[in-house]
Structure 1
Amino acid sequence: MSKANTHIAVVGGGIGGLTAAALLQRAGYTCTIYEQAPAFRRIGAGISFGPNATRVFYSMGLGRTMLAVGLQPSITVNSEWDTGRAFNVMQTPELGRRYGAPFVTFHRGALHDMLLSAVKPNTIQLGKKLVGLEERGGSEIKLSFEDGTHASADVLIGADGLNSVVRGAIFELEPPKYFGRVAYRSILPRRVLEGLELLDANRWWGPDRYAVAYFMSEARDELNVAALTPEAWDEPDFSPVVADLTRMRAAFGGFNRTLRELLARCTEVSRWPILTRPSSLPWSRGCITLLGDACHAMPPLTGQGGGMAVEDAAMLVRCLEHYGGEDVKPALQLYEKSRFQRITRTHEASQTHELGRGDTDQEWLYGYDVLSVPLAN
């Protein structure tokens, strides 16, 4: 199998899938993204990426676009939950100077549009919900979709999230585990923020819960708010629901005035269960592999779920290139080995998130360069 005649299918058109497709195409591979949604819509909330991920965006030729559609916060302030006293203030642009790539916040819709611009026209097929796959003789993989259509590929990348159909087809699919916390999420327009003392990025740390609020573009016209707290999940499944505002505000009733007033102004709020998946191997079988939440979903306490998917995509392409695009199976094994230690450490850190609250060692997280770190032996 040579690079020139290798067709790679990517299931899932989210952060990891789009990043993988763009990097594959830049390396000379032919790939198609199969996305179950009938259309892309501007939904979701905010998301942030540290230098470990934004340096990959630079390598994709997206540096200017990234800084145009996102925000490099001027300052990030970590505050005590009750008094509001700042105890760890980070001059965020310093991260860019130290690590060679910036810390950037985005609206997920703007991020998705940016990544979409990096893939070639006609790369994506929408309305393609995967319902089955079959590994045939040689290297052919047959994909079957809910609409009755089929496709074939030489390599398959499952970037289809927590409830990955690809994962379920090649391994026994265990359901993701509830982390015991919910995230209340909302986006506020600038006009409702009058009178609040808010900087570009703000965090309030309680003993067992915390809240973040940050702007998502240079216009600073929308504020992303996320408040995480321990709660039982009392819904029939793990789909996000419309939040009970009284319940949300009561959960943070003892916090300082600024946060309480901020939550009082949140009128459209969704309640999300925090779900995880252990970072256990294997991720691959034959010419099929996984990336992102499909293989190692983690709590958002280090803000690295999206970043790890971006790193996965970059490492996967590096490993394919290491074998010249010709020997896929050992390349996918190398990808697993080269990612596992990094994913495990980040997954463990995400269980408590001392980064920002007390652990100021950022070198291992932000200083990691997936584009040049040595591959596993």
Structure 2
Amino acid sequence: MLEKVLIAGGGIAGLAAGLALARTGASVQILERAPELTEVGAGIQLGPNVTRILNAWGLSTAMQKVASYPANLRARRVSTGEVLATLPLADMSTRYGAPYLTIHRADLQNVLLHAARVSGVHVQCDSLVKNVQQDSQQVCVTVSLGETVVGANQVLSTRAQERTTKEYGNAFVIADGVWSTLRQQLLGDGLPRMTGHLAYRALVAQTDLPAHLRSQDVSVWMGPKVHVVQYPVRGQLHGVANQDLQNWNLSKSFTETRADLQSALRGACSHLQALVEACGDWRLWPLYDRPPMQNAAQHAQGRVALVGDAAHPMRPYLAQGAGMAIEDAVELANQWTTFAHQDVRQR
């Protein structure tokens, strides 16, 4: 029977895959290139299709401690603030058997990390997978081990004197994100494509906002070439604004790009402009994706499979990137169980 699975990447996709596989009885080792798993990213939304999985994994209590559960999603017109439609979210559990929630990406990662470790998953940081080889019996990956240096405020890693080792397993999962180098080794299909869209992201404490700007709902503001989403995470407000990127200059300073954002929203209603102005620390996020997969060979070959953004990076407008990574993990575990049982029968 198959025993060990190696995973490249300790983000949401890698941790979810590790947890799902460990729940089948597999031995799982996650190889993460960063010297430690730190808080990165901003907020994400999870629909009932995903929270149903997390509940089945026994994570509902852990999620309730860190997630927000908005009552409504309101679609608004950018220019006037007019409410175009309202989607009730509070009754998702009744309608679909699981809730709709918003959460900081780092909080979801921490919930998955804790659950994975409790399930026996070994997470090894400072380990960059550089090469993968497979045959009919096993997978061998070459791992570059960094030298961790603890600084005053952060943990750093150096590979000035590279040390490599080899790890062996029965299968290998590529979960190293949209810029996956391992995908190139497997498929050789080039880099992800620039979509022509740019996202600005910010987090601001609710208490720092005027009362009329505070909200526990999800608001989606829509207009020509502008799409703004706001929702609560950690008791804060998360704002995302997207605009056309065709003429965006990657060398621009923060001051210049902030001016671009303000220019893009010049025709917006005063409520939205005040909300954007209240968010001081905007981070830029150029959006990349890939054409949809055409066949199963693009998802897995032999003993190697891709999950999450390494497999199918997407734009954020449907709020399903993290959700599809978690759904990938479930299907991967299902296939692993089937494959393992077939292997036993063949023996």
Give the TM-score of the pair, scaled to structure 1. Answer: 0.80
Aligned partners of 1:242 and 1:155: how far apart in 2?
43
Distance 2:291 2:58 in 1: 33
Gaps of 5+ in 1: 329-377
1:214 has 2:231 as partner: yes
1:265, distance to aligned residue in structure 2 (A): 1.5
Q: 1:9 aligns with which of 6, 14, 35?
A: 6
- 1:269 Cα shift? 0.9
Unaligned runs of 5+ in 2: 146-163
- CA displacement at 1:145 relative to structure 2: 2.0
The residue number in structure 2 matching 1:255 is 268
1:111 is aligned to 2:108: yes
Matched, 1:267 2:280: yes
- For residues 1-377 of structure 1, what are the structure 2 equivalents within 5 Å? 2-3=1-2, 6-120=3-117, 123-136=122-135, 138-147=136-145, 148-200=164-216, 201-217=218-234, 220=235, 222-232=236-246, 233-235=248-250, 242=254, 244-280=257-293, 281=295, 282-327=298-343
Q: CA deviation at 1:184?
A: 0.3
The 8 Å contact of residues 76 and 199 in structure 1, kept in 2 or not, is answered as: no
Question: Aligned-pair distance for 1:123?
Answer: 1.0
* SS of the residue 1:52 aligns to: helix
Contact kept, 8 Å, 1:187 with 1:223, in 2: the verdict is yes
Are 2:230 and 2:238, in contact at CA under 8 Å, matched by a contact in 1? yes
Asked if the contact 1:241/1:271 (under 8 Å) is kept, the reply is no
In structure 2, how many angstroms separate the alpha carbons of the residues matched to 1:122 and 1:294? 21
- Aligned-residue Cα RMSD (Å) equals 1.9
Cα offset, 1:242, TM superposition: 4.5
Distance 1:53 1:272, change over 3 A: same
Change (3 A) 1:93 1:224: same
User: 1:64 Cα shift?
Assistant: 1.2
Instruction: Look up the SS of the partner of 1:161 in the other structure.
Output: coil
1:114-158 superposed Cα distances (whole Å, 9 cap, x missing partner): 11111125610001111111224x422111123322211110010
Aligned residues: 318
Task: Write the distance in 2 (CA, Å) between the matches of 1:269 and 1:198.
Answer: 18
Query: Partners in 2 of 1:45 and 1:314 — Cα distance?
Result: 24
| 8 A Cα contact 1:23 1:317, kept in partner | yes
- 2-structure distance, mates of 1:74, 1:67: 15
Normalised by the size of structure 2, how large is the TM-score?
A: 0.87
Q: Could you tell me the percent identity over the aligned residues?
A: 29
Partner residue in 1 for 2:155: none
Q: Which has the higher contact order (CA 8 A, sep 6+)?
A: 2
